[in-house]
């Protein structure tokens, strides 16, 4: 679990739910997922944001040079994980879902550039990192693989190709939209 306020809030929720299970037999199965992506995702998320910048010929701001390590899971694999958690998951258990393909954000952006024939150097502007960002998120999906018979069907490249295809097909509707996240307290 991360050390950022976001990660800590997730850990707090997990621990609260596990306490309700332990003391009150409240039925709970906890599912944790690596970063998911795919068609229809909000434009402020990394993969659609890169595509939006490519399509609009705008600079993509790469925080901290993109050194953070992450795993990404295609939306269909994410949904399959939720379904298997509900159907086969044991109450009071935690299941991690990831495809074990860990990449740096810079490598992810380079992969998207390669698949869209975009010049990485012309697209990217390096900025300083967010102060609360964790360096890496790595999870072990062994329990989900063994107990739920779950495995991702899509590699990161296959999923990105499907995502690019969808965003290209819907480019006209997406280009006028803003790709920023506005936090509302």
Q: Structural domain tally of the chain?
A: 1
DSSP β-bridge partners for residue 126? 62
Using CA atoms, how far apart are residues 109 and 120, in angstroms rounded to an integer? 8
Mean pLDDT of 40-48: 90
Residue 93 DSSP SS3? coil
Q: How many other β-carbons are positioned within 10 Å of the β-carbon of residue 89?
A: 23
Residue at 11 is within a domain: yes
Residue at 89 is within a domain: yes
DSSP β-bridge partners for residue 62? 126
For residue 36, the surrounding DSSP H or E stretch is strand 35-37
Residue at 73 is within a domain: yes
Residue at 27 is within a domain: yes
Residue at 182 is within a domain: no
Among 119-128, 131-140, 174-183, name the most confident range. Answer: 119-128
Residue at 180 is within a domain: no
pLDDT of residue 23: 96
Residue at 103 is within a domain: yes
Residue at 94 is within a domain: yes
- Higher-pLDDT residue of 30 and 138 is 30
Residue span of the structural domain in which 77 resides: 5-174
Half-sphere exposure of residue 163: CA atoms within 13 angstroms, side-chain side: 30
pLDDT of residue 136: 74
Mean pLDDT of 32-58: 92
């Amino acid at each position: 679990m991360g050390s950022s306020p976001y990660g800590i809030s997730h850990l707090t929720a997990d621990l609260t739910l596990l306490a309700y299970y332990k003391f009150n037999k409240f039925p709970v199965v906890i599912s944790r997922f690596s970063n998911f992506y795919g068609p229809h995702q909000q434009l402020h998320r990394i993969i659609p944001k890169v595509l939006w910048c490519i399509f609009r010929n705008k600079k993509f701001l790469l925080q901290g040079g993109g050194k953070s390590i992450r795993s990404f899971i295609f939306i269909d694999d994410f949904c399959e994980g939720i379904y298997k958690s509900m159907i086969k998951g044991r109450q009071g258990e935690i299941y991690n879902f990831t495809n074990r393909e860990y990449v740096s954000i810079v490598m992810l952006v380079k992969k998207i550039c390669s698949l869209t024939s975009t010049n990485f150097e012309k697209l990217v502007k390096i900025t300083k990192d967010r102060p609360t960002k964790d360096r890496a998120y790595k999870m072990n999906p062994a329990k989900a693989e063994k107990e739920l018979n779950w495995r991702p069907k899509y590699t990161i490249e296959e999923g990105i190709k499907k995502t690019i295809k969808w965003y290209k097909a819907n480019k006209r509707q997406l280009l006028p939209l803003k790709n920023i996240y506005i936090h509302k307290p």
